[in-house]
Structure 1
Amino acid sequence: MPIPPADPAGDPNFSLPKHPAFQRFWCTRILSSLSFQMLAVAMGWHIYALTHSAFALGLVGLAQFLPMFVLTLVVGHVADRYDRRRIAAICQSLESVAALLFAFGTFGGWISAPVIYVLAACVGAARAFESPAVASLLPGVVPRGQLPKATAWATSANQTAQIAGPALGGLLYGVGPGVAYLACTLSFAAAAATVWAIPLQAKLASRAPVTLESVFSGIAFIRKEPVILGALSLDLFAVLFGGATALLPVFARDILHTGPLGLGLLRSGTAIGALAGTIWLAHFPLRNRPGAAMFGGVIAFGAATVVFGLSHQFFLSLFALMVLGASDTISVVVRLSLVQLRTPDEMLGRVSAVNSLFIGTSNQLGEFESGVTAGWWGAQPAVLVGGIATIAVALLWMRFFPELKHTRSLEREEALAPSH
């Protein structure tokens, strides 16, 4: 039975964390992210154990990115035309099957680098459909006035998973790679069951016919919105250059001299800082000049990346990753809130698909870029150059997108003006 929409303005007892639909949404986000983070640690350590190659680590990221790039225009239309809960449930079920194949391959002794690349590509294809469907699901779960807070809480689900997932994945991988993959299988399956049980407040608009114009409408909308374009592209290039996640197995094993559990803790470090940041923003939303705050966060992200690249001490590296995660949270929350609050619901799936492509480009393609540069220069110089490039990007974007820098609110400012 659908849960009636709550009105925060008319209900002084309204509590977002206690809202039943949002609780289920939060649970499916954390379960799916937990599974993916465990799988990422297992794949990363497994491929590096098989190949001892930083370039091979980069190829895992590329294998996940390519399906997302190819399918971008398709997945947005699918999210706008069909039940977003069904899409997410199907994708998470397919990811569960992929994790199960990882387990079978490990226990059966037939897992190899090419098999890992193929299964990583399958996971990337499923997440290409899942990401815009889940992202565009949130406005149908909570009242519009609660979207900024809901975005922060939803981001905290990802960060919680990024804390527990890598550490748990590293611990389970230490027991046995197959055990880690089986845990991913069960967690993805639980996420699929949870997302299907989410009641929606809002229904999709009638399905418009598919035309060439409608296929590219998400890109056209973003091009006409300099604030959204600036936020998306800033986040893309910052993480593309500054992301050192793909190289963590190299740092853990060859520079910091720790094992799979240490790798899991390093991956969790970013999420520990990010979780602290999202909880803070959930209680104290960015109300004034969010664009300027986003630029400050990206510069801090680059500076923390430089510190991590210079460090040879495990705890200093862990602290740098925590700062990196906390600063990145500002960019994530501002970007997601801008997309959800400034995009009409009937095309939110297409815009979210482009947003997911930007995220995938910065994360998965960023992993490939990190692997390539590390193969050329070594892991530490690659991270140092990436951190410096991130700071340079933020300074350039202040000049390229002054509308973002001077944004006063996450809402459209014309919508905030009093009517006459």
Structure 2
Amino acid sequence: MKDTRPTTGANPLAALSHRSFRLFWSGQCVSLIGTWIQRASQAWLVLEMTGSPFLLGLVGAMQFVPVLILSLFAGVVADRVSKRKLVMYMQLTLGVQAFILAALVYTGRAQYWHVLVLAMLQGICTAFDTPTRQSFIVEMVGKEHLMNAIALNSAIFNGARIIGPALGGFAMDAFGPALAFFLNGVSYLFVVGALFFVKVQETTSKNKERHFKQEILEGLKFVKDTPAVRETLSLVGVIGMFALNLSILVPVLARDVLRQSASGYGLLMSLMGAGALLGAATLAWFSHHGPKRQLLYGGAIALTVIQLALALPHAYWSAAVLLFLLGWAQITYSATANSSLQVNAPNHLRGRVMSIYSLLNGGVTPVGNLFAGTAMSLYGASGGFLACGGAGLIGALALWYGNKRRAAKPQHIEA
């Protein structure tokens, strides 16, 4: 078993020693706040517009259908072209999408079908942006500081998750949702500006004359033949399907069970982000140990068990505490899965491996969102949490016991 663990000692900011990553990370700090402002605001807007958890779930499904369809193709594109330029183009398009939604809401012309179409446009961009952006990180920092960079990215993602929903809730209550979407559009300009100054030695596939189908099959064969990658992606598929429907579950919990306004909902999302931020900071500090199987499964199982606990009756602050812990569990699982995949993927296949990760992490979300939305329409928020948490827990435990022979080997998830 090849040992690819970083050899440096504990330094929670090691990846920031790389100028290009420092620039990119700084731009992301602003852009991700805007992303979370829109996520929270769009979910609340749809609930206010339709009053239907099912239609909210349909928006989530439409947002991720393109990820399901395009991810494998996008992975080949990410391996063939300049990752920096592709991320820039996708970020600009996402900014335009946010400005269009802001204009529709501000002029009073926004209808439910507008949100559906713009959600699909966002999904198309996400299908290309996510695997490209994730596989671009290693070009900025190298494998030695990769897990640290992923943890730092997770830290700002979840720091934004604290600030963004709270700002979005305040903006909606005080000024209406149009401002929330406009702020998100402006935020994309910061990461695009940062990417103009990023300088890296980019790695692209040397076999550009090959057919896309051949390159997709090459990536799938690598996953099939690499047990550590195959096991991790199997878990990602299970958790992505059932346990990551929080953008559908939490708004309904806040409005229908806890009787909160947009501000109260925003605070709940922020507390979940605070838990994830603390989890990301912990991972950054211990990132020199590399990704471990116990963290991967421990985070996934905790994520599902906490959702089962949220199916029980709660006061506002007991629910808030559980969502804080949920955020910690989610980032422990997701950052470990992401790191282990990138450490095991060779440079010329990394975009394709991460596109399969995106497919299983987000592409199955349409099915998961509809599953969660249907469960809540029939049995309320408690039924949604029970169904999603229960299905995710069963799947994670089945994979754990099904791979117990591998678990008996050294703990590090590597090829």
TM-score norm. by structure 1 comes to: 0.90
Distance change >3 Å, CA 97–CA 197, structure 1 → 2: same
Structure 1 residues 385-394 or 122-131, which shifts more?
Answer: 385-394
The within-5 A match list for 1:119-138 is: 119-138=118-137
Question: Over residues 266-285 of structure 1, what are the superposed CA-to-partner deviations in whole Å (9 max), with x where a residue is unaligned?
Answer: 22222211110111111113
Structure 1 residues 130-139 or 404-413, which shifts more?
Answer: 404-413
| Cα deviation, residue 180, structure 1 | 0.6
Distance change >3 Å, CA 288–CA 248, structure 1 → 2: closer
Task: Provide the rounded CA distance (Å) in 1 between the counterparts of 2:297 and 2:208.
Answer: 38
Question: Over residues 370-415 of structure 1, what are the superposed CA-to-partner deviations in whole Å (9 max), with x where a residue is unaligned?
Answer: 11211122221121222222222221111223365346354636xx
CA contact (8 A) 2:82 2:202 kept: no
CA contact (8 A) 2:236 2:357 kept: no
Distance change >3 Å, CA 402–CA 267, structure 1 → 2: same
Residue 225 in structure 1 maps to residue 215 in structure 2: no
The within-5 A match list for 1:95-174 is: 95-174=94-173
> Which blocks of at least 5 consecutive residues in structure 1 are unaligned?
1-6, 414-420
| Cα deviation, residue 66, structure 1 | 0.8
Residue 285 in structure 1 maps to residue 284 in structure 2: no
CA contact (8 A) 2:275 2:326 kept: yes
- The residue aligned with 2:3 is none
> Which blocks of at least 5 consecutive residues in structure 2 are unaligned?
1-5
- The residue aligned with 1:397 is 399
CA contact (8 A) 2:240 2:360 kept: no
The within-5 A match list for 1:190-205 is: 190-205=190-205
Residue 234 in structure 1 maps to residue 235 in structure 2: yes
| Cα deviation, residue 253, structure 1 | 1.4
Question: Over residues 288-328 of structure 1, what are the superposed CA-to-partner deviations in whole Å (9 max), with x where a residue is unaligned?
Answer: 88112221222211121122221431111111111111112
- The residue aligned with 1:298 is 300
Task: Report the AA paired with residue 197 of structure 1.
Answer: F
Question: Over residues 8-38 of structure 1, what are the superposed CA-to-partner deviations in whole Å (9 max), with x where a residue is unaligned?
Answer: 979x9x9433432221222343344323221
| Cα deviation, residue 363, structure 1 | 4.4
| Cα deviation, residue 197, structure 1 | 2.3
Distance change >3 Å, CA 9–CA 152, structure 1 → 2: closer
Task: Provide the rounded CA distance (Å) in 1 between the counterparts of 2:364 and 2:207.
Answer: 32
Q: Percent identity?
A: 27
| Cα deviation, residue 193, structure 1 | 1.9
Task: Provide the rounded CA distance (Å) in 1 between the counterparts of 2:290 and 2:8.
Answer: 21
Task: Provide the rounded CA distance (Å) in 1 between the counterparts of 2:412 and 2:85.
Answer: 30
- The residue aligned with 2:36 is 37
Secondary structure of the corresponding residue to residue 204 of structure 2: coil
- The residue aligned with 1:4 is none
Task: Provide the rounded CA distance (Å) in 1 between the counterparts of 2:214 and 2:151.
Answer: 33
Task: Report the AA paired with residue 231 of structure 2.
Answer: G
Secondary structure of the corresponding residue to residue 412 of structure 1: coil
- The residue aligned with 2:360 is 358
CA contact (8 A) 1:44 1:57 kept: yes
Q: Larger RCO: Structure 1 or Structure 2 (Cα < 8 Å, ≥ 6 residues apart)?
A: 2
TM-score norm. by structure 2 comes to: 0.91
CA contact (8 A) 1:236 1:361 kept: no
- The residue aligned with 2:65 is 66
Task: Report the AA paired with residue 159 of structure 2.
Answer: T
Distance change >3 Å, CA 361–CA 326, structure 1 → 2: same
Task: Report the AA paired with residue 39 of structure 1.
Answer: Q
Distance change >3 Å, CA 301–CA 412, structure 1 → 2: closer
Question: Over residues 163-195 of structure 1, what are the superposed CA-to-partner deviations in whole Å (9 max), with x where a residue is unaligned?
Answer: 222112222222211111110110122222223
Structure 1 residues 311-320 or 341-350, which shifts more?
Answer: 311-320
CA contact (8 A) 1:289 1:407 kept: no
CA contact (8 A) 2:62 2:123 kept: yes
The within-5 A match list for 1:226-375 is: 226-242=227-243, 243-285=245-287, 287=289, 290-361=292-363, 363-375=365-377
Aligned residues: 405
Question: Over residues 48-93 of structure 1, what are the superposed CA-to-partner deviations in whole Å (9 max), with x where a residue is unaligned?
Answer: 1111000011011111111111111221111111111111111111
Task: Provide the rounded CA distance (Å) in 2 between the counterparts of 1:209 and 1:35.
Answer: 39
Task: Report the AA paired with residue 305 of structure 1.
Answer: Q
Task: Provide the rounded CA distance (Å) in 1 between the counterparts of 2:14 and 2:282.
Answer: 16
Task: Report the AA paired with residue 219 of structure 1.
Answer: L
Structure 1 residues 350-359 or 243-252, which shifts more?
Answer: 243-252
Task: Provide the rounded CA distance (Å) in 2 between the counterparts of 1:155 and 1:289.
Answer: 14
CA contact (8 A) 2:293 2:413 kept: no
- The residue aligned with 1:179 is 179
Task: Provide the rounded CA distance (Å) in 2 between the counterparts of 1:210 and 1:139.
Answer: 25
Distance change >3 Å, CA 57–CA 405, structure 1 → 2: farther
Task: Provide the rounded CA distance (Å) in 2 between the counterparts of 1:364 and 1:320.
Answer: 25
Question: Over residues 112-139 of structure 1, what are the superposed CA-to-partner deviations in whole Å (9 max), with x where a residue is unaligned?
Answer: 1011000011011111111011001011
